[in-house]
Structure 1
Amino acid sequence: MTEPTTESTTDPTARPMVAVEALTRTYRTGRIEVPALRGASFTVAPGELVAIKGRSGSGKTTLLNLIGGLDSPDGGTVRVDGRDIGALGENDLLALRRDHIGFVFQSHGLIPVLSAAENVEVPLRLVRTPPAERDERVRLLLALVGLADHAAQRPYELSGGQRQRVAIARALANRPRLLLADEPTGQLDSETAAAIMPLLRAVVSSEGVTVLVATHDEALLAEADRVLSLEDGLTTEAPA
């Protein structure tokens, strides 16, 4: 792997931002069982940019969904910033996802009738951020992702890479501690995709956020602080 282009913000003595222990998840259809995770364990330090690689169907999306509280494991624990998310009630889990975790998916999921700025603004409206503060936050985030001049454009007027940048800005709106990105370059051409990982690294630097990205894109893997391999439902540290 290449050396990071910006100084790492990790503190080896800090409490892990993510701690996964003996995580298992099996999907069942009738009598058929498909194990996705068989005891995955790892930690991610605050300020780290960690990539998870694995073949299609290896369980990367399942793992991110479990960490983000979008799914429940059959066994094991997930702690986010010290909190066992399996022990949280539904209201507390909703608050955790809303206030502390940002999600970026392969399909950007923008609202078609809203402009780029309005899409980024949605999470801020949900938590009733005052208008002046909201406008300033949207302006700063669009500038961060290089779209300051595209605030008024709707998704259909933007390229695939620009739409994904808006999605990243929206995920950062409420200043999450953790950003989960699932194959964020999966629908982008190689040149556009190559710009996404430097953007995520800039996010780590400027926003102080921890990033966990699932990908098989070699360009993205090369820029990560660490790479975890997911195979046969288990995670291992990939060699540098």
Structure 2
Amino acid sequence: MSESSTRSATAVAGEPAGPPPMVRVENLRRSYGTGDAAVHALRGVSFDIARGELVALKGRSGSGKTTLLNLVGGLDTADGGRVLIDGTDLAGLGEDALLELRRDRIGFVFQSFGLLPILSAAENVGVPLRLRRAAPGERDERVALLLALVGLADHADQRPGELSGGQQQRVAIARALANRPALLIADEPTGQLDAETGLAVMELFRAVVRSEGCTALVATHDTQLLGLADRVLELSDGEITEH
């Protein structure tokens, strides 16, 4: 077991009473395939993320970062171990409860942006609020606030094809924040951006964590971006080490 895993296990056994960490991962294991061909993506991964923390996850391509993010976000099921979000064990939730958790408590940002091309920036940001059936006035107010937060108040009516890559990623971040998630998960959010734009997006994550009061787990391989995180976790050979 890695040093960080040992610290986490010790904390679980003897920590004082109080609010749980926003994310707790305990002895998480995930493999693909069987027998000699099996790929062991995660080998007993354990760590905590405190509330309000921006944690960067680094590791070479194919190291299992996306697998780990999918498990933390309730998009995949582990072979062993468990994930707790704000004290809730994901393994104990049915499909409907998981869907509700992802909709209301977790925001996702992906490398490919994932915006709907026929909708304007404002309409894309408003999609999660429509799914929650928020009142039109509440929806419009939240969308306007978020577009201002990411610096796109003047681009509300533009469609994704009319925006730069950095602007599209800012729209995606705003959309992820629409339902005021407690946890923001981002998988290589700067992977399609140039260095300068990528740095600006990572700085935006830093600002968002502070202004929205959420927690963020961001996978990135960019060394420059790692310096903006409160803490860096490295995934190597299916295990986590902390920097």
**TM-score, with length taken from structure 2:** 0.91
* 1:11-50 paired onto structure 2 within 5 Å: 14-28=19-33, 32-50=37-55
- Displacement of 1:31 in angstroms is 6.4
- Displacement of 1:14 in angstroms is 4.0
Matched, 1:155 2:146: no
Match of 2:73 in 1: 68
Q: Does the residue aligned with 1:224 lie in a helix, a strand or coil?
A: coil
* 1:122-201 paired onto structure 2 within 5 Å: 122-201=127-206
Q: Does the residue aligned with 1:219 lie in a helix, a strand or coil?
A: helix
Count the aligned residue pairs.
227
Cα deviation digits, residues 174-224 of structure 1 (max 9, x gap): 000000000000000011101011100111111001000011111210110
Q: What's the % identity of the aligned pairs?
A: 72
Matching residue's letter, 2:31: T
Between the aligned partners of 1:220 and 1:142, the Cα distance in structure 2 is: 23
Between the aligned partners of 2:159 and 2:127, the Cα distance in structure 1 is: 14
Contact 1:204/1:211, CA 8 A, preserved across alignment: yes
Between the aligned partners of 2:19 and 2:207, the Cα distance in structure 1 is: 21
Matching residue's letter, 1:60: K
Q: Does the residue aligned with 2:38 lie in a helix, a strand or coil?
A: strand
- Displacement of 1:32 in angstroms is 2.1
Structure 2 gap ranges (5+): 1-17
Between the aligned partners of 1:164 and 1:44, the Cα distance in structure 2 is: 24
Cα deviation digits, residues 150-172 of structure 1 (max 9, x gap): 00000000000000000000000
Match of 1:7 in 2: none
Between the aligned partners of 2:200 and 2:161, the Cα distance in structure 1 is: 20
**TM-score, with length taken from structure 1:** 0.92
Matched, 1:234 2:239: yes
Between the aligned partners of 2:59 and 2:148, the Cα distance in structure 1 is: 33
Match of 1:6 in 2: none
Matching residue's letter, 1:205: R
Structure 1 gap ranges (5+): 1-12
- Over aligned residue pairs, what C-alpha RMSD do you find? 1.3
Between the aligned partners of 1:103 and 1:141, the Cα distance in structure 2 is: 15
Matching residue's letter, 1:208: G
Between the aligned partners of 2:194 and 2:225, the Cα distance in structure 1 is: 13
Between the aligned partners of 1:207 and 1:16, the Cα distance in structure 2 is: 17
